[in-house]
Amino acid sequence: MTVVMTKIGIAEVRAAKDPAVLVTLGLGSCVGVCLYDSRKKVIGMAHIMLPSSKEIKNNANKAKFADTAIVMLIEEMEAIGADRKSITAKIAGGAQMFSFKSSNELLRIGERNVEAVRRELGRHRIEIVAEDVGGNYGRTIEFFSRDGSLSIRTIGHGTKVI
């Protein structure tokens, strides 16, 4: 069987059946949301840029926001056979890539993205089984349908699998 590797761009959502690998590059303050149905071996990934579609006027791309991308991702996974009750999550990213002297909430975009993703997954009763979030460094992630493992590569912090 040939494994299909699919690259997920910024503000994109994709779902795939086994055998597949979903990859997104250069997560900084963005959060990679990886959903897995272990029984059906269906995976999905969203590359989320911003916490809420309600806070911004230019919100046409629903895959850009935590509150709308997660809904889209669940629906895409269900469309190819996933069972919502069997889905678990792994998340990565949400870094604070630059330091600011200001305590302005809007500048904490990575942390706000992580909070929004956690809130939205909770709303859908999807358990986060592993995460690698925060810090001040970027991440590249690869999500594998065969076992739901998530490989996280960083510059200066090595590679780990969660």
Which of helix, strand or coil describes residue 126? coil
Contacts of 39 (CB under 8 A, 6+ apart): 83, 86
State the Cα–Cα distance between residues 24 and 81, nearest whole angstrom.
Answer: 23
Out of 15, 16, 20, 30, which one is annotated catalytic? Answer: 30
Q: Is 30 a catalytic residue?
A: yes
Which of helix, strand or coil describes residue 92? strand
Distance of CA 25 to the CA centre of its chain: 12
Q: Would you state the structure tokens that stand for residue 104, as one six-digit string?
A: 């302005």
Which residues, in sequence order, are bridge partners of residue 43?
16, 36
Catalytic residues, by residue number, are 30
